Amino acid sequence: MSDPAALLGGGLRQPDARSCGASVLVAARMLADPGYAAGVTPEVFARDALATHRRVTAVLGRGLQVPWPRALGTPPWAVARELSALASPGTPATRYAASVAVLRPGPAFDRVRTAVGSGRPAALYVGNRWSPRHVVLALPASPSGPAVPQLRVYEPASGRVVDVHRDAAAGHRLALAGWHRLWLVVVPARA
């Protein structure tokens, strides 16, 4: 895999206010499939994010699924299902699951660090004190790299890769697209 920050930090932004989760899924596909990533331009990214959003919220996506109003974004179970289907050379697909993080954001952040430390991406749902409102992608780290108290995160609203520190997550001070609380994490089921 090429450097995830270089691959995704070039201004690939979500195409509308509701497609952050779908944009995260397109970004995860880019990380898993270098051939696909090589052909992604900002226009292709926007087109594929909108198509992914339609597919993961429809009655028939990857088989029969619970439909979801697109106006509410991408549900966490759809993100888990899509991430579970990703595989790349040397990294087989693995089952992902969503779990609540808002009551214990520090330990949830640690589960995400474990996932990315093993070379897998993870999704984070962030929001305000009332509900999750935005999805970002924690980028895989080199398994041989040092353990660090932060994550590299692709933030689809800005199209940038930013660092997120554990203390900010634990203290509800994330500041990701204006949202501060970690609500949910979508990680490999064993993380």
Q: 87: domain CATH number?
A: 3.90.70
Mean pLDDT of 142-167: 83
The residues pairing with 96 across neighbouring beta strands, listed in sequence order, are 188
Query: Residue 66: its pLDDT value, please?
Result: 63
Domain that includes residue 78, residue range = 4-188
Q: Residue 158's pLDDT band (boundaries 50, 70, 90)?
A: very high
Q: What percent of the chain has pLDDT over 70?
A: 86
- Lowest mean pLDDT, pick from 35-39, 53-57, 94-98, 114-118: 53-57
Give the residue with greater pLDDT, 108 vs 87: 108
The model's pLDDT over 66-105, given as tens digits with 9 standing for 90+, comes to 655 555 678 899 999 999 998 777 777 899 999 999 999 9
pLDDT > 90: what percent of the chain? 65
* Mean pLDDT of all residues belonging to the chain: 87
- Counted domains in the chain: 1
User: Whole-prediction pTM value?
Assistant: 0.90
The predicted pLDDT at position 186 comes to 97
pLDDT band (50, 70, 90) for residue 65: low
The whole-number average pLDDT for the span 49-76 is 73
- CB distance 46 to 15 below 8 Å: yes
Answer yes or no: is pLDDT of 11 > 60: yes
pLDDT score at 101: 96
DSSP string, the chain: ---HHHHHTTT---SSTT-HHHHHHHHHHHHH-HHHHHT--HHHHHHHHHHHHHHHHSSEESEE-----GGG---HHHHHHHHHH--BTTB----EEEEE-TTSHHHHHHHHHHHHHTT--EEEEEE-SS-EEEEEEEPPPPTTSPP-SEEEEEETTTTEEEEEEHHHHHTT---BTTB-EEEEEEEETT-
Residue 26: band (very low, low, confident or very high) from pLDDT cuts 50, 70, 90? very high
Could you give the count of Cα atoms lying within 13 Å of 87 in the half-sphere of its Cβ?
A: 7
Q: Quick one: pLDDT at residue 60?
A: 57
